[in-house]
């Protein structure tokens, strides 16, 4: 079977009267959707109506972008440089991610929920639309999207980030979203569990790793993370507006899932190389091909680094440990200064810094415990070299915190026998290098004289 996008025109002209009637019916549908004069798409609809309706839906949602057939070759960029159509190999990796069964582990005696990402997306989306919350589209984001586009990216992927682009006008919508997600968890409870006595609060305590809500002038979004003991949390993010959607170009990819989800729902035939929905990838960095090149070559690049929040420093050091490097030395030093400054603005207190670091280590190094020490030492070097916004004692306090966490990591890995037996050595202060500086304090001693019987030589204490 030939690729549909390259079907000869002669083959199309030889269709029977039955197919021509079907073409006229499809033309009326296209006219109602405001897609007149799209004759090329109309011809292709003859081969398989459903497939191209999914394509048309994707095309209608892309502004100034031609979302045509998925080519069996490598990614081909549409008119807009921010978008690209996924290749067949990339579609296969995406399908594997969405159909993989992921366990959501319950705390205590609560049973484990077994769910596929496509199932939870379908359940949540249908309930949102029933509650009159319009969902513009659903996307795969973050390291999972990067893995789909380039399998050997070096990033790997743990969390599964799913974005619902929805209209969240007020507090009522945020609460509705929360209630819907918790209600959907009931659908995945094993048979025999009495669901009537399980409240939303109980489900939240049992299965939700974290919940975040941001509502201000520039950002309106919420996040519900479903816990997985192996670190592969399913993160459902509901976004109305988000000013900064990425930190670095290599994690700026978003893959629109609507056409694939529609394929799952309607198609009776499995996907093949010549028959699969057209799936659009986007780089919110701005240039898809450039961002993909950075991913392939393990380069760290970004735009407007002053806008990256404090957690960007931790992500940057994580990329360094995974073998990524900045494009140039000067850019790297400037980027590090920006991120260090923002980290200490967002986390000014030493206790906040400790909580953030411990949380990052716990969430991003599941199964990679042997990399924790290298990560902390990399972070220590960056903070030591590039921090320019702190007083000396504050900087030393943070460096001491990172060193303490590194020693704890070594103890957890049994690299050292006991933390109590570890001696920490600190670099001497700069004034020690002065030739006139002496490391010794000479105590003055009372002279010893021949005296009466009860007189003794006395040493002054050296304090």
For 350-404, how does the pLDDT look when each residue is reduced to its tens digit (9 = 90+)?
A: 999 999 999 999 888 988 889 999 999 999 999 999 998 888 889 999 999 999 9
What is the C-alpha to C-alpha distance for residues 26 and 398, in angstroms, rounded to an integer? 66
pLDDT digits (tens, 9 = 90+) for 133-162: 999 999 999 999 999 999 876 566 778 999
Q: Give me the pLDDT at residue 162, please.
A: 98
Handedness of CA 259, 263, 266, 272 (dihedral sign): positive
User: How many C-beta atoms surround the C-beta of residue 285 within 10 A?
Assistant: 23
Work out the average pLDDT over 63-82.
44
pLDDT digits (tens, 9 = 90+) for 245-292: 999 999 999 999 999 999 999 998 999 999 999 999 999 999 999 999
What is the C-alpha to C-alpha distance for residues 245 and 251, in angstroms, rounded to an integer? 9
**What does each C-alpha distance from 160 to 163, 278, 371, 376 come to in angstroms?**
10, 22, 21, 25
Tell me the whole-structure pTM to 2 decimals.
Answer: 0.74
What is the C-alpha to C-alpha distance for residues 111 and 191, in angstroms, rounded to an integer? 11
pLDDT digits (tens, 9 = 90+) for 85-123: 999 999 999 999 999 999 999 999 999 999 999 999 999
SS3 for 356-405 is HHHHHHHHHCCCCHHHHHHHHHHHHHHHHHHCCCCCHHHHHHHHHHHHHH
Q: Which residue has the higher pLDDT, 421 or 226?
A: 226
Element (H, E) at 84: strand 83-85
CB 338, CB 302: distance < 8 Å? no
Buried b (16+ CB within 10 A) or exposed e, 246-278: bbbbbbbbbbbbbbbbbbbeebeeebeeebbbb
Task: Using pLDDT thresholds of 50, 70 and 90, give the confidence band for residue 435.
Answer: low
């Amino acid at each position: 079977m030939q690729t549909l996008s390259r079907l000869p025109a002669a083959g199309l002209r030889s269709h029977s009267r039955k197919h021509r009637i079907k073409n006229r019916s499809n033309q009326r549908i296209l006219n109602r959707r405001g897609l007149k004069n799209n004759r090329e798409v109309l011809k292709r609809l003859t081969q398989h109506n459903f497939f191209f309706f999914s394509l048309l839906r994707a095309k209608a949602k892309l502004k100034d972008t031609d979302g045509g057939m998925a080519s069996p070759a490598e990614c081909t960029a549409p008119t807009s440089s921010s978008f690209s159509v996924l290749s067949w190999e990339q579609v296969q990796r995406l399908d594997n991610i969405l159909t993989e069964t992921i366990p959501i582990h319950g705390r205590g005696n609560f049973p484990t929920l077994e769910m596929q990402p496509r199932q939870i997306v379908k359940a949540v989306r249908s309930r949102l639309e029933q509650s009159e919350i319009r969902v513009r589209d659903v996307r795969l984001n973050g390291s999972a999207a990067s893995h789909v586009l380039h399998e050997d990216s070096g990033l790997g992927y743990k969390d599964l980030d799913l974005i619902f682009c929805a209209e969240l006008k007020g507090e009522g919508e945020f609460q509705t979203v929360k209630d819907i997600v918790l209600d959907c968890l009931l659908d995945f409870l094993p048979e025999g569990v009495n669901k009537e006595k399980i409240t939303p609060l109980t489900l939240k305590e049992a299965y939700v790793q974290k919940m975040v809500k941001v509502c201000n002038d520039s950002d309106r979004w919420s996040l519900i993370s479903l816990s997985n003991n192996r670190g592969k949390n399913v993160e459902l993010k509901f976004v109305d507006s988000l000013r900064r959607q990425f930190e670095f170009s290599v994690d700026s990819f978003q893959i629109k899932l609507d056409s694939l989800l529609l394929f799952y729902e309607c198609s009776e035939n499995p996907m093949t190389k010549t028959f699969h929905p057209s799936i659009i990838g986007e780089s919110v960095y701005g240039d898809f091909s450039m961002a993909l090149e950075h991913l392939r070559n393990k380069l760290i690049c970004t735009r407007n680094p002053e806008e990256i929040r404090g957690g960007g420093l931790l992500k940057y050091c994580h990329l360094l440990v995974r073998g990524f490097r900045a494009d140039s030395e000067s850019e790297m030093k400037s980027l590090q200064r920006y991120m260090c400054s923002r980290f200490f603005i967002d986390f000014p207190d030493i206790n906040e810094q400790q909580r953030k670091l411990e949380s990052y280590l716990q969430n991003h190094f599941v199964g990679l415990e042997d990399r924790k020490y290298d990560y902390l030492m990399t972070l220590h070097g960056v903070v030591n070299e590039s921090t320019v916004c702190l007083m000396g004692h504050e900087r030393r306090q943070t460096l001491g915190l990172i060193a303490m966490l590194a020693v704890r990591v070594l103890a957890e890995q049994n690299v050292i026998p006991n933390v109590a037996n570890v001696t920490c050595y600190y670099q001497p202060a700069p004034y020690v290098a002065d030739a006139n500086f002496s490391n010794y304090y000479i105590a003055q001693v009372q002279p010893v004289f021949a005296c009466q019987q009860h007189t003794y030589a006395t040493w002054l204490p050296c304090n």
